[in-house]
């Protein structure tokens, strides 16, 4: 325990994103491309949860890493039913995020089971049938 409380950090940000400072994610299979490609360095992080009858697999890179070519590929476990969460940002730009659900099935990961929680993590922003 810290004697003076937990460490803190204050960031001053604009209440709204300035025009031209949005990043968009274009999904191509299990890869996303950042558009437009800013002149500033692009960073990303991702997490994937795959479910099969034998169990579940969690993979990804939960820390920000440089994306030199402006793309981020899914670090798949190989399962068919997958929830992939992506975050991409660049200095001076709003963070872009998406949650892609590949062949979602009712269960703890995707929700859809009556009386059960809404599913693990954020809701799907795009459902993809393969």
Domains of the chain: 24-128 (2.60.40)
Alpha-carbon separation of residue 3 from 8, 10, 43, 44 (angstroms): 13, 19, 35, 35
Global pTM reads 0.82
Q: What is the pLDDT of residues 92-128, one digit of tens each?
A: 899 999 999 999 887 777 776 666 566 677 888 999 9
- In the predicted model, what is the mean pLDDT of residues 48-66? 86
d(CA 68, CA 23): 15
């Amino acid at each position: 325990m810290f004697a003076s409380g937990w460490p803190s950090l204050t960031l001053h940000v604009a209440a709204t994103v300035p025009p031209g400072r949005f990043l968009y994610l274009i999904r191509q299979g299990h890869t996303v491309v950042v558009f437009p490609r800013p002149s500033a360095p692009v960073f990303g992080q991702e997490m994937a949860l795959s479910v099969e009858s034998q169990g579940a697999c969690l993979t990804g890179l939960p820390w920000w890493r440089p994306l030199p070519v402006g793309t981020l590929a899914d670090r798949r476990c190989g399962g068919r039913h997958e929830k992939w969460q992506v975050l991409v940002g660049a200095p001076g730009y709003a963070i872009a995020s998406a949650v892609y659900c590949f062949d979602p099935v009712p269960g703890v990961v995707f929700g859809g089971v009556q009386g059960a929680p809404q599913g693990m993590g954020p809701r799907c922003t795009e459902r993809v049938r393969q």
